[in-house]
């Protein structure tokens, strides 16, 4: 997510307020917030979900809709999301 620089404090505050509710959502096993090293206004949420269905349930929830409504107005660019899977582990 690429944020307007002046909007980052608002997002970080909002994330602190909501992260435990997201982490506590059924099927969410892990949640982290990452920041770009070279672009400090680029942030990523990194989460592990039980399965695709659990993630879809979150995306359809009132919690997600409320978070997204408040977050998307802070963006400088359109947000992107990826679902990935482990290909190799050491």
Give the tens place of pLDDT for each residue, 28-76.
999 999 999 999 999 999 999 999 999 999 999 999 999 999 999 999 9
Burial of 3 (0-12, 13-18, 19+ CB in 10 A): buried
What integer is the mean pLDDT of 65-88? 94
Which of these, 67, 78, 81, 70, lies nearest to 2 by C-alpha position?
78
Range of the domain at 52: 5-72
SS3 call for 40: coil
Domain assignment present for 90:
no
User: Could you tell me the pTM of the whole model?
Assistant: 0.87
Counting the structural domains of the chain, the total is: 1
Specify the DSSP element, H or E, that contains 47.
Answer: strand 43-49
User: 57 — phi, psi (to 5°)?
Assistant: -60, -40
Q: What is the CATH number of the domain that holds 20?
A: 3.30.70.100
Q: What is the pLDDT of residue 77?
A: 96
């Amino acid at each position: 997510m690429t944020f307007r620089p002046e909007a980052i404090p608002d997002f970080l505050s909002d994330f602190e307020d909501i992260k435990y509710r997201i982490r506590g959502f059924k099927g969410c096993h892990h949640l982290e917030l990452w920041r770009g090293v070279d672009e400090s206004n680029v942030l990523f949420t990194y989460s592990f979900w039980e399965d695709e269905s659990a993630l879809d349930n979150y995306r359809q929830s009132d919690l997600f809709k409320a978070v997204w409504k408040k977050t998307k107005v802070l963006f400088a660019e359109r947000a992107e999301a990826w679902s990935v899977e482990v290909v190799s582990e050491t």
